[in-house]
Structure 1
Amino acid sequence: MSRTLEQAHLPALARGFSLLGSGGGGRTILQELVLANAGNWPIDLYDVGDLPSSTPCIAAAYVGSTQFLHERLPGEAPFAILLDAAERWSGIRASAVCSAEGAGLNGLTPLLLAQDHMLVDADFMGRALPRLDQMSVFADRLPGLFVICDSGAGGVAVVDTGRPEDIERVVRAAVVQAGGVATAVIGGFTVGALREHAITGTYRRAQRLGNAFEMGSERSFRALAERMGAGLLGNGRVSALEPSSRGDYSYTIEITSDNGDIARIIAGSEALAFMREGRVEATVPEIIISIDSISQTILQVDELTLGRNVTVLSLPAPSWWRSTPTRIGHVSPRAFGLTDMERRP
């Protein structure tokens, strides 16, 4: 059933998508500023069952390091060149849009296209994940997909392949060519395909989480966790940062609690696991959230700096990822090289 998003809903949506980032996904502030001045409010939000199955759809996202967006602001219509290229490639002009990544900055990105596209409450991750081949449609190997990415200087790269690993490698190369961050759209699917091959309802979840987060100013993180339907993992002061010995880009954030217990967050571009006294208590695809205990700011993993007081919560993973062994294999700790981080009873 469709519903209407008002401009007044934007702060709650942004906080909700920040929470779903699991410490990643990019800061939402830039999109908030752009959308606060957009002229396309109110926006109708459609469930996947509200539109005909044959409705052509695209997914939109920024790819790469979104920090560069604060140094090199996007233009007025950052996706226009990609939409034109997608129409030339497929011969179809999509009339609906969804999110490629339902978290962080990209949770809000489809709102930029809502003036000319019907906004569908579906996305390909349900949280933030680092790799393009971890999107649900690529995990399911949905046929007929293509990706168009900005490659800089007015050019685009088109990737049309049945191998998800090609999407990751070639698009990342285009992003480097574009200067570290680029717009991208995924096409070649319909709204009907989203019913089986996408995570649905993430906008509703983000708004509910954002409303719960903003409801009160009390300092009880236990009450906050209860409102959000989250687990309270712990709190303390960041006491050490250690690079991984695995040779990858992950690292360990050590947190010392007031009673002397030692907790650790294993992180890459997102928080991947939480351990207390050597026991694994949460792992990807669960959503691990760090909040500044003093300011109650939702933190990105790169903001977990020495001496910072933090509270750590966990949200359940999108159920789509746990529905089959193949799907969970794309987002389990092993998919990130964390072979020793599987949950123990």
Structure 2
Amino acid sequence: MATTLELAQLPALARGFALLGSGGGGTTTMLELALAAPDRWPITLHDVDELDPGTPCLGAAFVGSTMLLGERLPGEAPFAPLVAAVERWLGVRVPAVCSLEGGGLNGLTPLALADERVVVDADLTGRAVPGLDQMSLLVDRVPGIVAACDTGAGGVALVQTDRAVDLERVIRSATIQAGGAGGTVFAGFTVGDLVEHSVLGGTRRALELGLAFQAAVSAPLEQLAASLGGRVLGEGRITAVDADARDAHVSSVEIAGLGGEVQRVITRSESLAFVSDGRLESSAPAIIVVLDALSRDILEVTDLMLARNVAVLELPAPEWWHASPERLARVMPSVYGLAELDAAR
């Protein structure tokens, strides 16, 4: 069933995708501003079963450093040359668009292409993840995927490979050459492929989460968590932020719990796990949300600083990741070398 999205719903939609970012995925402010023009709305959101399964589809996202995107804003149509490149490669126009990443700013990205393409309510992650090789189409080894990205100065790189890690490395290298951040487009798949090989309904989930968050943001913490379908993991004051000796990208954020517990949020580009008094309480693919305990702002991992009072919530993981051991293995902490943080399957 098609859903009509209105401009007035944009703030709630953005808050929902911020929650699904699990501390990563980039802040939504840039795209909220870009999408604020009234003439863009309303936007119709389609389920996969409303469209011909043979309809070619593309996924769009910003990759690299989301902090740089705030300093060096993308142009008016950042995906246009990338879409043109994949359409030339495929030899067909691609009339539908979905999101590559269903958390953080990229949850909103397909709405920026809604004036030219049909928006499909599907994405390739259901939460923020750091690697392009973690996109669901690649995890499930759907053949024929092609990707294009910025290389800087108007250049475009196009990659087609059966090895997901090659695509990740080439796109990442090209993005670094482009200055550290830019657009990426996936194509070579159809709306029918999304039925089995994507997370469905993520935009509607984000909207529901955002509306619930807005309605209960001032409520007691337990009530707020329940309204989101989640649970409270902990609350307290940050007393230390230490880099992991094995991986400088991994940090342990120590929290002095209100009841005297020693709590830790383990982060990389997203929050990966929560530990209390040495017990693993939650880990990816569960979505770990850290809020400022006073303002209830949704925090990125880069916002977790000494002396900040925080509350930590857990939201359920997208079921897609739990459908097979092969999928789950691509999103658990062990994929980052942190096997001790894997929850029981």
Instruction: Give TM-score scaled by structure 1 length.
Output: 0.98
Q: 1-side partners of 2:239 and 2:103: how far apart?
A: 28
Counterpart residue number, 1:115: 115
| Cα shift readout 1:60-87 (whole Å, capped 9, x = no counterpart) | 0001001111111111111111111111
2:317 counterpart SS class: coil
Classify 1:233/1:34 alpha carbon distance in 2 versus 1 (closer, same or farther; 3 Å): same
1:86, 1:93 within 8 Å by CA — same for their partners in 2? no
Query: Are 2:257 and 1:257 equivalent residues in the alignment?
Result: yes
Q: Which residue of 2 aligns with 1:148?
A: 148
Residue identity in the other structure for 1:7: L
RMSD (Å), alpha carbons: 1.1
The letter for the 2-side match of 1:114 is: A
Shift of 1:344: 5.5
Query: For residues 75 and 247 of structure 1, what CA distance do their matches in structure 2 show?
Result: 34
CA distance in 2, matches of 1:298, 1:183: 25
For residues 155-194 of structure 1, what are the structure 2 equivalents within 5 Å? 155-194=155-194
- Could you say what secondary structure the match of 2:265 adopts? strand
Whole-Å separation in 2 of the counterparts to 1:162 and 1:195 = 21
1:135-189, CA deviations, whole angstroms, 9 ceiling, x for partnerless residues?
1000011001010001110110001000000011000000011100010100000
**Distance in 2, Cα, partners of 1:113 & 1:181:** 19
Question: Partners in 2 of 1:247 and 1:19 — Cα distance?
Answer: 26
3-state secondary structure, aligned to 1:215? helix
Q: Distance in 2 between matches of 1:13 and 1:179?
A: 29
Given that 1:24 and 1:301 are in contact with CA atoms closer than 8 Å, whether structure 2 keeps it comes out as yes
Distance between the aligned counterparts of 2:259 and 2:228, measured in 1? 26
Query: 2 CA distance for matches of 1:272 and 1:217?
Result: 24
Asked if the contact 1:101/1:126 (under 8 Å) is kept, the reply is: yes
Shift of 1:260: 1.5
- Match runs of 1:73-88 below 5 Å: 73-88=73-88
Shifted more, 31-40 versus 249-258: the winner is 31-40
Unpaired runs of at least 5, structure 1: none
Within 2, Cα distance between the matches of 1:8 and 1:146? Answer: 35
Distance in 2 (alpha carbons) for counterparts of 1:217 and 1:152: 41
Amino acid at match of 1:55: T
- Provide the C-alpha distance between the structure 1 equivalents of 2:341 and 2:83, rounded to a whole number of angstroms: 41
| Partner-residue secondary structure (3-state), 2:341 | coil
* 1:275 corresponds to: 275
Distance in structure 1 (CA, Å) of the matches to 2:27 and 2:162 = 32
Residues 52 and 344 of structure 1: CA distance in aligned 2, closer, same or farther (over 3 Å)? closer
Determine the structure 1 residue equivalent to 2:195: 195
The superposition leaves residues 36-60 of structure 1 with CA deviations (integer Å, 9 ceiling, x where unpaired) of 1262210100001010001110000
- 1:19 alignment counterpart: 19
Contact 1:287 1:315 in 2 (8 A): yes
Q: Which moved more, 1:127-136 or 1:211-220?
A: 211-220
Amino acid at match of 2:241: L
Runs of 4+ in 1 over 3 A off after TM superposition: none
2:216–2:223 CA contact under 8 A, matched in 1? no
Does the CA-based 8 Å contact 1:58-1:189 persist in structure 2?
yes
Matched residue, 2:64: 64
Q: Following the alignment from structure 2 to structure 1, what is the Cα–Cα distance between the partners of residues 247 and 257?
A: 29
Mapping of residues 203-222 of structure 1, within 5 Å: 203-222=203-222
Instruction: Find the residue that maps to 1:242 and give its secondary structure.
Output: strand
| Alpha-carbon distance in 2 for matches of 1:195, 1:174 | 31
Q: How many pairs align?
A: 345
Question: SS in structure 1 opposite 2:170?
Answer: helix
> Unaligned stretches of 5+ in structure 2?
none
Moved more, 109-118 or 215-224: 215-224
On the 8 A contact 2:217/2:224 being kept in 1, the answer is no
CA contact (8 A) 1:280 1:344 kept: no
Q: Deviations over 1:238-287 (max 9, x none)?
A: 00011102234101000001222110001000000000000000000000
Q: Distance in 2 between matches of 1:272 and 1:28?
A: 20
Q: CA deviation at 1:341?
A: 1.2
SS at match of 1:94: coil
> Is contact 2:17-2:102 (8 Å) kept?
yes
Matching of residue 308 in structure 1 with residue 335 in structure 2? no
Q: TM-score, normalised by structure 2?
A: 0.98
Q: Structure 1: how far apart are the matches of 2:146 and 2:344?
A: 39
| Identical-pair percentage | 52
Shift of 1:231: 1.0
In the aligned structure 1, how far is the partner of 2:180 from the partner of 2:243?
23
In the TM superposition, what whole-angstrom CA distance separates every residue of 1:169-218 from its partner, at most 9, and x where no partner exists? Answer: 00000001110001010000000000010000100110010001000343
The 2-side partners of 1:29 and 1:155 are apart by 27
Match in the other structure for 1:339 = 339
